[in-house]
Amino acid sequence: MTTLKDISELTGYSMATVSRVINNQGRVSQKTKQCIEQAADTLGFKTKNNKRLKLNSGTQSIGVVINRISSPFYSLLAQSVEDVGREHNRHLMLCSSGYEEKDERDAINFLLSHGCRNIVIHSKALPDKVLAELCHKHAGITIIGRKIESVIDRCVWLYSMPGTYQATQHLINQGHTRIGFINLAFQCDDKSSRLDGYLNAMKDNGLYVNHEWIQDADWVEAGGRAAARRLLSLGLPITALLAFNDVYAASALREFQSRGVRVPEQLSIIGFDDVMEQCYFSPALTTLKYPIAKMARKAALLSLNDNRDSHPNGHCYYPTLIHRESVTVCHEHMKI
């Protein structure tokens, strides 16, 4: 994304002069105007709806790119960034990108084109190389939820594997040996990390894993319900279930209960995230806490250049198992 600074560097004129030409404000010579406009065309400088972009546009803002506005997980992320912004007299600029690479690119370019230079990006689709290039080009960009080695000091991420390992071990300690897993249907960093924690715990305890116990699910709530129905069609061959997130766990829990399965007496369930109101669960959901609010705050501060150099190896966080009511001791004799 071409900026006023790029035009200034190419032409040798100050950013103030470039701004006057771009915004059609103030007096400059025809020669200067032609030079700057030609450079802008050469560099592919664009403005929204052909409107002029002011030099200070977006400088009092902090941006965030998330995947889904309706998700409580992303709501907490955005709220934490906004809180930091207010502390620094910045207004929040929020873009939702879905889970498509093009949409993520468009969201980031939108913020940059409006002069927003401090941006926290939660990306599921963009390649590491693209995100690294953005960080190298724009000092105010930080990445949350991803670990990218080449820009690791600009990354805030969760190491998920120890969490799912701990959750699986907890189920095993309760006597469960047939444990299932609901995972994402599409590829992302967390998918393999969370699955590996579960598989490693099963292996370390000498337990067999049937491939049918692992169900991939679409991102939305319907994915969790569909995974539950598939497990029921197999005769519910498991006594415990670990889910990629709380949305899967909650929707699967409700589907099982609607089919007469008692939770946790017949099926113990553990989620991941701990971002949903527990008053809506019966029983209350045992889950792994993803400290997204704390992580988003750190990412926002990094974006504003606070304490960036204090952690050259990046900012890694870990999930914590929250014990509630959806897990109990295995009772193998209790069948549906």
Question: What is the average pLDDT across 205-220?
Answer: 94
Going by pLDDT thresholds of 50, 70 and 90, the confidence category of residue 44 is confident
Q: Determine what percent of the chain is predicted with pLDDT higher than 70.
A: 90
Taking the CB of residue 186, how many other CB atoms lie within 10 A of it? 11
Say what the alpha-carbon torsion angle 237, 238, 239, 240 is, to the nearest 10 degrees: -160
**pLDDT (tens digit per residue) in 243-291:** 999 999 999 999 999 999 999 999 999 999 998 887 677 899 999 999 9
Question: CA 148: distance to chain centroid?
Answer: 14
Which pLDDT score, from 0 to 100, does residue 35 have? 87
Which one-letter DSSP state was computed for residue 175? T
This prediction's pTM? 0.80
- Note if the bond before 72 is cis, omega within 30 degrees: no
Q: What is the rounded distance in angstroms from the CA atom of residue 36 to the CA atom of residue 17?
A: 9
CB 111 within 8 A of CB 140: no
Instruction: Return mean pLDDT, the chain.
Output: 89
The answer on pLDDT for 312 being more than 70 is no
**pLDDT (tens digit per residue) in 49-99:** 445 454 445 568 999 999 888 888 999 999 999 999 999 999 999 999 888
The three-state secondary structure class of 148 is coil
Taking the CB of residue 230, how many other CB atoms lie within 10 A of it? 14
For residue 180, list its beta bridge partners. Answer: 241
The least confident of 34-48, 86-100, 217-231 is 34-48
**pLDDT (tens digit per residue) in 296-307:** 999 999 999 855
Question: What is the average pLDDT across 117-135?
Answer: 94
The one-letter code for the residue type at 299 is A
The one-letter code for the residue type at 256 is F
- Nearest one of 125, 86, 90 to 104, comparing CA atoms: 125
